Structure 1
Amino acid sequence: TFPRLFTAPPPPPFARRRPPPSCPKYLPNQSLIMSANLLLPLPVPSPAATHAQLSFPMSILRRLGPRHLTSSHLLHRRHLSSFAAAAVARQDTVAWTQAPLSEIEPVAESLFHVSIDVSDHPDLAASHTLPGQYLQLRIPEVDKPSFLAIASPPSFAASRGAFEFLVKSIAGSTAELLCALKRGNVVELSHVMGKGFGIDQIEPPEKYPTVLIFATGSGISPIRSLIESGFCAKQRSDVRLYYGARNLKRMAYQDRFKDWESSGVTIVPVLSQPDNSWSGEAGYVQAAFARATQISSPAGTGAVLCGQKQMAEEVTSILVAAGVSTDKILKNF
């Protein structure tokens, strides 16, 4: 989640309105229209109409604080000075594209597979060029967007006209609202962002025969994009994916492991709280890696990391101590 640069008091309820749904792109957080130093208040739809458009369970809406809801959901009593405060609020210049959900289904505990149809927006689909890139997703009438890594490979958007995501449902978040939507509901997408994984840093495969990949939880999402994009894994001698989760119920993409193994990636599942029947690696990813065979050729080793901050920091320390160059340790941010 990216923090706001600063916070200003919300404007009066009559000073804010979104364009009609027919508008595919617009500037979303414009509370006031500023022209010739004048502040022009705009009418807003009725609260009843707003809630009808959202169609979220009230149990979810109650958990959302004022920061998550537009001023059309709330009635404010503000002094006229709120106009001045609103005038200096950060202007959001993101261009939003409306697109419908084509699939949404649970794939693990608290994790959902989400597919969004972008076939009517070829420029947006074509902007996904590298595994590890992400975008912002926003639900109409909810201000706070979510940053989501794209799980599908770049070629998928071009051939299928869709973006796929792995979304963790967190109580009180935009992600929770997203996971409560249905097929056909419309969401808003920003342009594709980020440098992705700089896989060219660990090519050609003959020079970097060892690639170690580390992921925890929903951090497996951009790793899926990397593996299914293809990075010459079969031409390398040692490609391992250490994938950490609490237990098997929280481990997504198990149905893809066989295909990933066929592409040349050895899967090492690591469970922090396994049940008694588990015979694989237990504990945390960084500990499982530390117990593994030492790196024989640091100069020919690359790594890709995505997941919990502590895991990434500790794995990076282990790799650097073993002699792996920091510019060969790839992250997508």
Structure 2
Amino acid sequence: MLLRSPPRRLHLLRPHHLRVLSNAAAALATPPPAPTEWTEAPVSAVRAATPDASLFHVSLDLSSHPSLLASHLAAGQFLPFRLPSAPYPIFLAISSPPPASSALPKSFDFLVKRLPGTPSARLCDLCPGDLVGVGGSVVGRGFEVGRISDAREVLVFATGSGISPIRSLIESGFGENENIDVSLFYGARNLQRMAYQERFDDWESRGIKIVPVLSRPDDQWTGQRGYVQNAFSRTKKVVNPSSMGAILCGHKQMSEEITRALVADGMSIDKILTNF
């Protein structure tokens, strides 16, 4: 399901005192621990991930770092970066799936929001072959999907670059069990800022129902409008909270409002997963 606009032409963590913002712009309670070991890895690919170039695909060649590759155990984990002239490390959610077998991948993929003047923008401006400092292992627990292993329906909510670890989750096989009904509410400003549209057909073939939600669409858009939490309230109510789970990654307000709504409908807070 590749979404197309009408004829008109066409998530980052950083410790800062006690406040940390994720790659998906969600607020965290505490920063992840800074790595004690660092290494260097070459950038293997950098390209725009959206038509307006607000998001970038960045890949790192980690073929010389098998232990680092092997430390990626769960979708939703982060890799620390240390970029030249940056006063602090940044932590980016890995968008590629963790290895499913003993055969390790050769790289990690990331979806990076290009905010001018930030370390993430510097990362997007690098070229293949440029070296970057990275932690010796990934950090974070990722999405603890074992907590919703008995769910028969799972609601997934993502906004902006928060779709990055959700890609990792989907492409690691989550939702392919025919006994689970998975719906993804994915919000962006417009189609020009919506990443991974080229993957939607594959995701739907894996059993994921995708509900794109645009907050500022053009007049040709016929899908859901507004914010993800509004679209959810219009289209879905929790019928049997004991057999449901939820996964959230994105803006703080979205996460807070969705969580309140699900808890009010009877869902246990333990069944609502984030990757921090």
TM-score (norm 2): 0.85
Highest CA radius of gyration, 1 or 2? 1
What's the secondary structure of 1:154's corresponding residue? coil
| Preserved CA contact (<8 Å) 1:303 1:330 | yes
Correspondent of 2:113 among 168, 171, 184: 168
1:313 has 2:266 as partner: no
1:265 has 2:196 as partner: no
Matched residue, 1:140? 84
Give the CA deviation at 1:139: 1.9
| Preserved CA contact (<8 Å) 1:125 1:158 | no
| Preserved CA contact (<8 Å) 1:209 1:235 | no
Higher helix share: 1
Give the CA deviation at 1:297: 1.0
1:2 has 2:14 as partner: yes
Correspondent of 1:128 among 35, 57, 72: 72
Stretch deviating more after TM superposition (135-144 or 223-232): 135-144
Alignment of 1:206-217 (within 5 A): 207-217=150-160
1:199 has 2:145 as partner: yes
Give the CA deviation at 1:159: 3.3
1:100 has 2:42 as partner: yes
Rounded Cα–Cα distance in structure 2 between residues aligned with 1:201 and 1:256? 27
Matched residue, 1:225? 168
How many residue pairs get aligned? The number is 245
Matched residue, 1:295? 238
Rounded Cα–Cα distance in structure 2 between residues aligned with 1:232 and 1:106? 28
Rounded Cα–Cα distance in structure 2 between residues aligned with 1:158 and 1:311? 37
User: Once superposed, which parts of structure 1, at least 4 consecutive aligned residues long, lie more than 3 Å away?
Assistant: 1-6, 140-143, 156-159
Matched residue, 2:61? 117
Letter in structure 1 aligned against 2:129? G
Matched residue, 1:50? none
Asked which structure has the greater RCO (Cα within 8 Å, sep 6+), the reply is: 2
Letter in structure 2 aligned against 1:303? A
Rounded Cα–Cα distance in structure 1 between residues aligned with 2:93 and 2:231? 25
Rounded Cα–Cα distance in structure 2 between residues aligned with 1:134 and 1:113? 15
What's the secondary structure of 2:166's corresponding residue? helix
Matched residue, 2:7? none
162 and 296 in structure 1: CA distance in 2 versus 1, 3 angstrom threshold: same
What's the secondary structure of 2:46's corresponding residue? strand
Give the CA deviation at 1:293: 2.9
Show structure 2 runs of 5+ residues with no match.
Answer: 1-12, 19-33
Q: C-alpha deviations, 1:52-108, integer Å up to 9, x for none?
A: xxxxxxxxxxxxxxxxxxxxxxxxxxxxxxxxxxxxxxxx76311100001110011
